[in-house]
Each structure stands twice: as C-alpha cells, then as structure tokens.
Amino acid sequence: MARKIIIDCDPGQDDAVALLLAFASPGELDLLGITTVAGNVPLGLTQRNARMLCDIAGRQEVRVYAGCDQPLRRQLETAEQIHGATGINGLEVFEPSTPLQSEHAVDFIIHTLLDADDASITLVPIGPLTNIATAMDREPEILSRIERIVLMGGAMREGGNRTPSAEFNILVDPHAADIVFRCGRPITAFGLDLSHQVLSTRDRVARIRALNNPVAAATADMLSFFDRYDTVKYTSKGAPLHDPCPVAWLLRPDLFAGKDCNISIETQSELTMGHTAVDFWHVTDRPINATWMHTVDAPGFYDFLIERLARFGEHA
Ligand code: RIB
Ligand code: CA
C-alpha cells in the first residue's frame, strides 16, 4: 500500500527535484497534497513554483496549497542569492495550469490529519517549519495521526549555511522548529551533514540531461543554475541536493544511515539562533526525539534519482 504523504516545501530548485522524485513514485507514495510556505522566496513565488512543477511533471491533478507567508515570530529571511529572483532560476517561468487550492495549507493539514487514522500520514517538510508548527499548535489532536515527520533541516558537524551555527530552514523559523522537535512524534532529520554528501557534480547533471526527456532536461537546467553559488562558497564540485534526501529515504532507506538522539533548537541567542544541538554522543539526559541522518551512499542516491527521472520519458 502506498505511504500517504504531505510534502511541505518552499521551491527552490532542490525542493523541485524532491517533488519530481515523489511524482515519479506513485506506487510507493500517495501524495495527498503539496503545501507551500515562505522560505527560499516569498510565498507568492513558492506556491507558483510548486504549481509549475506539477505542470512540468504532468501532474496537474495534485492539490497545491499556500500556507504561512511569515515565520511565527521572526522577520522572513529569503535566499534569492542561491535560488534566483524567481526561486526557480534555471527554468523559464510560466503561469501554471495547476490551480492553487483556495483553502489555507494549515487548514488542509489539520482536516486531512483529523480525518485520518492514527499514525497513517507521513509529513515531509523541506522548508521552514511554519505551516507544520502552526497546525500542531492550533490543533494538537492531529499529532496522533502523524506516522512520522521526515524533514530537511539542521546541521551538526557541517556548521550552518546561513549563519555559522544554523541551517536555513531552521533559522528562518526556529520557534516553529522548536515546536516540531518537541511534538513527540517520530522525526527523521536530514541536515547538512547528510546533504553535503550528495553533490550535483557536472557528471551527474550530464547523466540527468542525457535521459533526454523534458522533466530530466528541466532538472538539469535547474541544477546547472543551483550549483553556481555553493560551488564557490564550499569550493565543492557541485551543489548539495538537500531536499530530495527525505523523499529518497522513504523510497530507499537502505541508501542511508542515522542515529537516534536528542535534537534541540536554539531560540534565545541571536548569535546561535536556529542552531540544532544534536546530542549525538548522548552526553545529556535530554530525551531522544529524532533520528539524525549522517551517512548516505551518494553514488547509489544519484543512480536511484536518475532511474526515477527516466520514468518521465517512458510514456512520452
Ligand atoms: O539549507 C537548505 C534548505 O534551505 C533546503 O530546503 C533549501 O531548499 C532551502 O530551503
Ligand atoms: Ca527547501
């Protein structure tokens, strides 16, 4: 039976690849809806970008919702320097035919979960956690319906990518992240320690482009833009492909390894705001609340991603 999931995202080229991977896996993932949040770019663009991806993948039936346009308490910080002014640079922007649902994303999350059986829906947040935390805060009844939260966020040994201490998704809304990490439901967290192992090198982008189908071409175009900032910043051979990691884990957990530990969020100090304190060596008595993912078979990840992107050409 396909796993019921909701992807909460802020597209963003890497969010886009995560959506495409989910679209390519209908037998394993039942995508109940895509909820969008302000993050990489403002909400008006993240929701439009998510709907563009539905069109590109030929999945105009997927329901897309707009959610929170501001973090719970902090001013919105965006990342146009990485994703471009449109948030999806690398793609020619167009007005998508996939409609935006009129219902607010938080209301969709709440009523979908309230109508569901216990532990039956997996949440896959790959942007700031504002929508998820708002839903939990407004309707705690939904918690029992959450099978697991499989998220992209945080950093431990890698240090931060937005400040020395914090990864972008957590920094943008640390108060939301604090609510989520204290919610008591199982969490599988993919931070920079993991995503910095999956680099979109030129060779890998070339293999994607060589699939010779429109979705793979769009992916190669996005990744060719997405890598220009990180390759300079990290002097790496390609941009880390953050957001497809949680989706890939749902499909191929054998490619990954993690460790159960406590993850706590800094919400007081401006210097370390949004830091994920990962108690990897269990040096405190803080309760275990997450699995911190730390190792991935990167060649295997890209082989799998490419195999799934190839599916978009099979019925062309
Ligand atoms: O730090 C990486 C995360 O921030 C990714 O989810 C990327 O899309 C941005 O949202
Ligand atoms: Ca994202």
Tell me: the pLDDT tens digits for 255-276? Answer: 999 999 999 999 999 999 999 9
Rounded Cα distance between 304 and 298, Å, is 10
Asked whether 230 lines ligand 1 (CB < 6 A), one says no
Rounded Cα distance between 208 and 310, Å, is 8
Per mean pLDDT, which range of 53-67, 70-84, 183-197 is the poorest?
70-84
Rounded Cα distance between 213 and 208, Å, is 9
Rounded Cα distance between 121 and 6, Å, is 8
CATH number at residue 180: 3.90.245.10
Tell me: the pLDDT tens digits for 148-178? Answer: 999 999 999 999 999 999 999 999 999 999 9
Q: Which residue type does 99 have?
A: P
Contact 275, 52 (CB under 8 A): no
Q: What is the extent of the structural domain holding 166?
A: 3-313
Asked whether 221 lines ligand 1 (CB < 6 A), one says no
**Distance in Å, CA 243 to ligand 1 centroid:** 7
Sheet (strand 187-190) strand order: 64-66, 29-36, 3-9, 121-125, 146-152, 187-190, 290-296, 256-265, 276-279
DSSP state of 271: T
Rounded Cα distance between 151 and 128, Å, is 10
Average pLDDT over residues 4-19: 98
| Residue to probe by mutation, ligand 1, list 242, 245, 293, most atoms within 8 Å of CB | 242
Atom of ligand 1 nearest to the CA of 79: 9
H helices, E strands: number in the chain: 12, 11
For the chain, give the percent of residues with pLDDT over 90: 93
Instruction: Please state the domain count of the chain.
Output: 1
How big is the chain, counted in residues? Answer: 316
Average pLDDT over residues 199-210: 96
Q: Which ligand is nearest to the CA of 170?
A: 1
Atom of ligand 1 nearest to the CA of 240: 2
User: Which pLDDT value is given to residue 315?
Assistant: 62
DSSP state of 198: S
Residue at token pair 């793609």: 91
User: Which pLDDT value is given to residue 152?
Assistant: 98
Residue tagged active-site, from 196, 242, 275, 294: 242
Asked whether 193 lines ligand 1 (CB < 6 A), one says no
**Distance in Å, CA 285 to ligand 2 centroid:** 31
Range 112-146 burial, b when 16+ CB lie within 10 A, else e:
bbeebeeeebbbbbbbbbbbbbbbbeebeebeebb
Among the listed residues 153, 157, 109, 307, the one whose alpha carbon sits nearest the alpha carbon of residue 243: 153
CA 95 to chain centre: 23
Sequential DSSP letters for 42-69: -HHHHHHHHHHHHHHTT-TTS-EEE--S
Average pLDDT over residues 9-33: 98
Q: Which ligand is nearest to the CA of 242?
A: 1
Which parts of the chain are beta strand (E)? Answer: 3-9, 29-36, 64-66, 121-125, 146-152, 187-190, 199-201, 238-240, 256-265, 276-279, 290-296
User: Which pLDDT value is given to residue 181?
Assistant: 99
Asked whether 173 lines ligand 1 (CB < 6 A), one says no
**Distance in Å, CA 9 to ligand 2 centroid:** 6
- Is 242 known to be catalytic? yes
